[in-house]
A and B are shown apart, each in its own frame.
Chain A
Amino acid sequence: MEALQQFWDGLVSQLSYLGKLGINMLPGLQYTVGLFAVTVLLSIPLGLCLALLRNSRIRVVKGLTGFYVWIMRGTPLLLQLFFFYYGLTFIPVVGPYLTMGRFQAACVTFVLNYAAYFCEIFRGGILSVESGQYEAAQVLGFTKWQTNLKIVFPQMLKVSLPSVSNECITLVKDTALITAIGVTEILYFAKSAVNRDVDVSAYAIAAIIYLIMTYGLTKLFNWLEKKFHY
């Protein structure tokens, strides 16, 4: 009886500790979700523009966007994060004007980095649209923009959706990187709690929060893929 009571008290205090941890981490969620939202909302349109430039017939434009994509995909995201947060300041003359807050630097880095990935995804999607579609649009009097907007992009989206979905799930997990420049997101709180309480539970709570987010995204994209099926 005594032992059961003890077990019960232990369980209650453990659960209330976990609950408290979870609640304490919630302020971190604003940065995690905020960075995710900013990155998705800005890097997808930017990636689409880059994809159009990357498929451009003008050699210089094509080359420059190719170079940009090569740099952004060929170097670690963490390095880029350090570069934009710590590094820009040291550029002669303009450096002081480029100094950003932690979260601002994180947003800039993620948008620029993810735009490069989306660029390559969309470029593949655009190339998968058959030349006959452009020809039909031309003889039916579509302008270049009408062709892109109403014929090419919707077809590209269908092809690209699975890769976009992958990229968004990776993005959720990548947001944890910004703890390295001291943004107080979820992992930041988890790490402090682990060090403070000498208890690993906080990492488990953080993991569950990430899992909930990636699970939700997976469901959302499955639904989108069904909707875009034709």
Chain B
Amino acid sequence: MSMITVRDLRKAFGSDSVLEGVTFSVEKGETVAVIGPSGAGKSTMLRCLINLESADSGEIRIEDQPLLDNGKYPDEKARRKICSKMGMVFQNFNLFPHLTVLQNLVLPPVNAKKYTRPQAEEKACALLKKVGLEGKEQSRPSELSGGQKQRVAIARALMMEPDVLLFDEPTSALDPQLTGEVLAVIRELAREHMTMIVVTHEMGFAREAADKVLFMGDHVIIEEGTPEEIFYHPKDPRITEFVSKIL
């Protein structure tokens, strides 16, 4: 059973077709990197997976549960249940600015009645330690650097114990010298066999940390393969051109 199965996913904004039949699957424990030019539809594809956008047609199965079945969505309750298995990390962090770092982590699982507050606090402290932010519990997001904010965002997503984590360009809003600390956390998760889909422009990361690379261009997945195949033996000339430009 695949963790995520996407088949013939289509989505248009008005007359603007953004996904024109996207098909792929992600196995449990896999780290999948999604690369490709800007405007290809990478974000839209990711947002469809977690129900931040509604697709027009196709099929999305999360751990064999249908989020989208033949172009039809189940009711809101079912969608919430299916999507609760996934977490997402955004380009712009989207931390809650009025809450402290600790509150950012504690609120979601307490809301969802997943943990009591003391349990959640204990878990939050352990996760903050894991992402290297011990001692920042009482800071406000505005007091943190971009790299620290993104690490808090990753810890916050992990609080809900997702089976899958989606990353939409997690380092694109960061100063170049801060991308390393964030990528190190994602690499660590990859080593622990967290199932992840990472949309990224960090080719080094995609090449070294990903089990599988999807190249997305012109609203479809043009090619999928191991990092070796995509970066050194691509079949499609568009990939050769993209990779040579960005490296």
Q: Do A and B bind each other?
A: yes
A contact residues vs B (CB 8 Å cutoff): 130, 132-133, 135-136, 138-143, 146, 150-151, 154-155, 158, 230
Q: Which residues of chain A come closer than 8 Å to B112, judged between CB atoms?
A: 140-141
Given contacts A139-B88, A158-B98, contact A150 B80 (CB under 8 A): no
**B151: min CB distance to chain A, Å:** 15
Q: Are A136 and B94 in contact (CB under 8 A)?
A: yes
Q: Which residues of chain B come closer than 8 Å to A130, judged between CB atoms?
A: 94
Which applies to chain B's interface (DSSP): helix, strand, loop or mixed?
A: loop
B90 at the interface (CB under 8 A from A): yes
**B160: min CB distance to chain A, Å:** 6
Q: For the complex, what is the distance from the CA of A132 to the CA of B98, rounded to whole Å? A: 14
**B82: min CB distance to chain A, Å:** 12
B178 at the interface (CB under 8 A from A): no
Q: Are B108 and A132 in contact (CB under 8 A)?
A: no
Q: For the complex, what is the distance from the CA of A138 to the CA of B94, rounded to whole Å? A: 12
B contact residues vs A (CB 8 Å cutoff): 50-52, 80, 83-84, 86-88, 90, 92, 94-98, 107-108, 111-112, 140, 142, 156-157, 160
Candidates B52, B90, B140, B160; contact of A141 at CB < 8 Å: B160
Q: Are A155 and B97 in contact (CB under 8 A)?
A: yes
- From A142, which residue of chain B is reached at the shortest CB distance? B111
Q: Are B96 and A133 in contact (CB under 8 A)?
A: yes
Candidates A132, A142, A146, A150; contact of B90 at CB < 8 Å: A132
**Given known contacts A132-B92, A140-B111, what 11 new A-B pairs fall within 8 Å (CB)?**
A133-B94, A135-B90, A135-B94, A136-B90, A136-B94, A139-B52, A140-B87, A140-B108, A154-B98, A230-B97, A230-B98
Q: Which residues of chain A come closer than 8 Å to B80, judged between CB atoms?
A: 141
**A53: min CB distance to chain B, Å:** 21
**B85: min CB distance to chain A, Å:** 10
**A226: min CB distance to chain B, Å:** 14
Across the A-B interface, the 3 shortest Cβ-Cβ residue pairs: A136-B94, A140-B108, A132-B94
